[in-house]
Structure 1
Amino acid sequence: MMLVLRILMLMLLLLVLASACDEDYGTQVLRLAKQDKNWLTSIRRQIHEYPELRFQEHNTSNLIRSQLNNLGVSYTYPVAQTGFVAQIGTGSPPIVALRADMDAIPLQELVDWEHKSKNEGLMHGCGHDAHTTMLLGAAKLLNQRKDNLKGTVRLIFQPAEEGGAGASYMINEGALGGAEAIFGMHVDFTVPTGTIATLPGPMLAAVCFFVARIQGKGGHAAEPHNAVDPILAASATVLALQQLISRELDPLQSQVLSVTYVKGGGAFNVIPEYVEFGGTLRSLTTEGLQHLQQRVKEVVEEQARVHRCKGSVNMEEDEYPPYPATINDETLNSHVERVGSMLLGPLGVKVAPQVMAGEDFAFYQQVIPGVMFGIGIRNEVIGSVHSPHSPYFFLDEDVLPIGAALYTSIAETYLIEHQSNL
């Protein structure tokens, strides 16, 4: 009975929100967002031309905050060094949070276009410039419609998603501020512009990096018996590590162990003192990642011992904190699907695959329920077909008003559905 009343109230309030013109709620929000397309495109291009790495997003932060000042939207700054949190609405519960990340990656852009990165060796190759712009667009729409808000929206502009665990810093400095749910989106080159893709439950992996060191005894290659060969030990260790996935993991679970580099020696006739290798560990559960970390340490240490070497592993947690698994709340995921269908039509919502990439949005989900979903940018005509972290990554900017409208509608309808008096 309560669910029926909630749905009826939602329908009534959506009619009120759309009553100013002869169009339904979803059409109205999309129309308003598309009116800002040129403004959104300009903002996104300014961010794209001057990408900044984690915790260095000073210009990006200044640009967005200046726009919020122009809009008359209040915010708290700084949070986690360069981040900030805007707030729109009554200031009272229910409180819902929307999040966007601001940082770029150390990658040389190879797309030749007018607004190519002007910061050598840096690129917005993961779409964070779009995420930030879409949340700014939502701030404008929500502020225009704030008299209709039935609660409070917190807009989290976060630094350092790319390896810096910026979300955890934002949480520790109070960014959630009483929010009971949080939503985020990430551009998705596998689905067309004008669609979204989402999935309840585990969606993205828990991730960490590791560096292993095999210490031996150097010597002349003509006299291997007088040395303790760390290259041989490292070779056996890399092979043994692969067996953690093939022989120890339940085949119905998902984990990845990738050794991505090996360094050791530099001469044809010298056995080196040590070998270093490293890579990444991934699991669709946080507990699975923790177990894999422990087994990697054990294998490296014991395999090295077999070859008379000493092995050690550093999980690089100070530089690259491990990320938990991104697990979407089932009820909130249904909310995203409903809103997506309302704005984009039933064919505009697709089922997302599970992906072994990581996302620090998971830190928020450890505190409150949340959903991270994909927003399509695929457009073969303009070349928006390359994956994130590719130097050829290119964005279909038609996504910008769509994302702003989705953020706005997800927040507005959430607050309507969660009125305390229902």
Structure 2
Amino acid sequence: MVMMNHRCCCYYYSVLLFLLLMLCESISSDSIPASNDPSGIPKYFLGFAKQPEIFDWMVGVRRRIHENPELGYEEFETSKLIRDELDKIGVHYKHPFAGTGVVGFIGSGKPPFVALRADMDALALEEMVNWEHKSKVPGKMHACGHDTHVAMLLGAAKMLQKHRDFLEGTVVLVFQPAEEGGGGAKRMIESAALENVEAIFGIHSASMLPVGIVAARSGPLLAGSGVFEAVISGKGGHAAIPQQSIDPILAASNVIVSLQHLVSREADPLDSQVVTVAKFIGGGAFNVIPDSVTISGTFRAFSKDSFQQLRRRIEEVIIGQAAVQRCNATITFESKDQMFFPPTVNDNDLHKLFHRVAGDMLDSAAIKEMQPLMGSEDFSFYQEIIPGYFFFVGMEDETLEHPVMPHSPHFRINEDGLAYGAALHASLAVRYLSDRRTSAAAPPGHGHDEL
């Protein structure tokens, strides 16, 4: 009888020991990295972001925003949602900036300061995707992924707040209005949203990249962009008696052809530029020469010098070609709703940091060196005053036969990518602050005050 008890004890002891070893292995694999080992943080954060507590919550936030899209400077409900969630997390914030913007703070409240940015606005599009969380607002849709940007930054905030002991400084959360043409970043700067901030990171969902893939590059990433509108005035008359008129349609046609020569014959072939006339308004009848014609379009370049040269030559060509046809031309380059956007140029030191952090989180094959794109981003306004870094996170919906580009009413993303974006945001902030703390004193011109 004693023997049987001994054998039973040995059996149960073995089972208990096995279970304890399995538990220890599980805890070890998900354990918090040592404070002196920042390289372990990205993988830890990615695992943390995939947990239902964080991931399901981010998905819910994203869907609530997607159902209720708001255009630039009208993001009142989105802003309220952000503030409510920051309150629940326990994150201190200030509001408003640029009307609807929110700026949160996590960490010591002392230098160094690093910022993470998300834009909030939607587009004036009617959503054509039929799903449970389709836009409830006619004519408005999150067709560029800004709903995911907000969700990922809130996810990063939740992780950083829970792991405040990782932070050797202060993370500034920038929730910005009106990226889609409204220049919200510029107004955030004018509202002192980046006070004390030394560097800033921005993220964009990429519907053409698989989940688990990230892409960026050092130097020029996105083009500077501008718009122009020209009114070409002549003298109207009967189409059968053209000699008694001054035809602005003919003048405008010559202008458009000549504008194309600015890129094909004046620009360095290795310096990518674009001039596109996308709007032509003139005439109301087939047999009447109108008094005037309006044309408008966009121009883009990857350097400030090329951009300014293009602007100057567009004006000269329009005025000159109109004059050849005996017409007058007036040109407008900026308006309240349309402004110049500088090129988005990624800082080289931040590029190296991004590669280290992304490399600690992902396989090296998952980090892509992307080619520059002719699209533009108002994140560039931040980069004009402090070092900044903008990158893309894969969110391709693999159920689609052909991925859909942003700004389409059929735009869709894979929400699995939210975990990667949130983890990268949080990891970049932690690593930047850690590196800054161990580096030399901050460069001149960046004074710092406590909050």
Give TM class, smaller chain: over 0.9
- 1:347 paired with 2:365, answer yes
Q: Structure 1 CA distance, aligned partners of 2:188 and 2:63?
A: 26
Counterpart among 230, 244, 253 of residue 235 in structure 1: 253
Counterpart amino acid of residue 151 in structure 1: G
Could you tell me which of 298, 301, 304 is aligned with 2:319? 301
Q: Secondary structure at the match of 2:34?
A: helix
Which residue matches 2:83?
Answer: 65
Match of 1:273 among 284, 287, 291: 291
2:204 paired with 1:192? no
2: CA distance, partners of 1:140 / 1:176: 21
Q: Say if 2:436 is the partner of 1:418.
A: yes
- The aligned length equals 406
TM-score normalised by L of structure 2: 0.88
| Code of the aligned partner of 1:249 | A
Measured in 2, the distance between the counterparts of 1:95 and 1:299 equals 47
Q: Distance in 1 between matches of 2:42 and 2:168?
A: 18
| 1:328 matched to 2:339 | no
Aligned equivalent of 1:149 = 167
Aligned counterpart, 2:20: none
Identical-residue share of aligned pairs (%): 48
Q: Following the alignment from structure 2 to structure 1, what is the Cα–Cα distance between the partners of residues 268 and 155? A: 45
Whether the aligned pair in 1 keeps the contact of 2:397 and 2:412 (CA below 8 Å) is: no
Q: CA deviation at 1:382?
A: 5.2
Partner-residue secondary structure (3-state), 2:160? helix
**Quick one: which amino acid aligns to residue 78 of structure 2?**
T
**TM-superposed deviation, 1:402:** 1.3
Q: What displacement does 1:89 show?
A: 0.4
CA contact (8 A) 2:225 2:299 kept: yes
1:266-288 Cα distance to aligned partner (Å, 9 max, x none): 10111101011111100011221
Q: Could you tell me whether the CA contact under 8 Å between 1:384 and 1:394 is conserved in 2?
A: no
Q: Which amino acid aligns with 2:127?
A: E
Tell me the alpha carbon deviations over residues 236-263 of structure 1, each in whole angstroms, 9 at most, x when there is no partner: 1100111111111111101000011111
CA contact (8 A) 1:209 1:281 kept: yes
Structure 2 unaligned runs (5+)? Answer: 1-31, 441-451
> Which of 348, 365, 384 is matched with 1:366 structurally?
384
Most deviating of 58-67 and 340-349: 340-349
Query: Which residue of structure 1 aligns with residue 396 of structure 2?
Result: 378
Structure 1 stretches of 4+ moved >4 Å: none
CA deviations on 1:17-41 (whole Å, 9 max, x unpaired) are 499xxx9433321121112111111
Q: Counterpart of 1:25?
A: 41
CA–CA distance in structure 1, aligned partners of residues 191 and 131 of structure 2? 39
Cα shift at 1:16: 1.5
Unaligned runs of 5+ in 1: 1-13
1:22-421 correspondence runs (5 A): 24-35=40-51, 36-381=54-399, 385-419=403-437
Cα shift readout 1:197-245 (whole Å, capped 9, x = no counterpart)? 0100001000011111110111111111111100010011100111111
Residue 383 of structure 1: how far off its partner (Å):
6.3
CA distance in 2, matches of 1:178, 1:89: 14
Change (3 A) 1:303 1:148: same
Structure 1 contact 218–272 (Cα < 8 Å) conserved: yes
**Residue 347 of structure 1: how far off its partner (Å):** 1.7
C-alpha RMSD of the superposition: 1.6
Partner letter of residue 416 of structure 1?
S
| Aligned-partner Cα distance in 2 for 1:183–1:97 | 6
Q: Is the 8 A contact 1:85 1:156 kept in 2?
A: yes
TM-score, reference length from structure 1: 0.93
Distance in 1 of aligned mates of 2:169 and 2:41: 18
Counterpart Cα distance in 1 of 2:121 and 2:304: 24
Residue number in structure 1 paired with 2:6: none
Q: Separation in 1 of the partners of 2:59 and 2:235?
A: 59
Max Rg structure: 2
Q: Please give the alpha-carbon distance, in whole angstroms, between the structure 1 residues aligned to 2:410 and 2:305.
A: 35
Q: Deviations over 1:97-132 (max 9, x none)?
A: 100100011111111111111111111000000001
Residues 207 and 412, structure 2, Cα contact 8 Å, conserved in 1: no
Using the TM superposition, give the Cα deviation of residue 189 of structure 1 relative to its aligned residue in structure 2, in angstroms.
2.3
Q: Is the 8 A contact 1:378 1:384 kept in 2?
A: no
The aligned residue for residue 24 of structure 2 is none
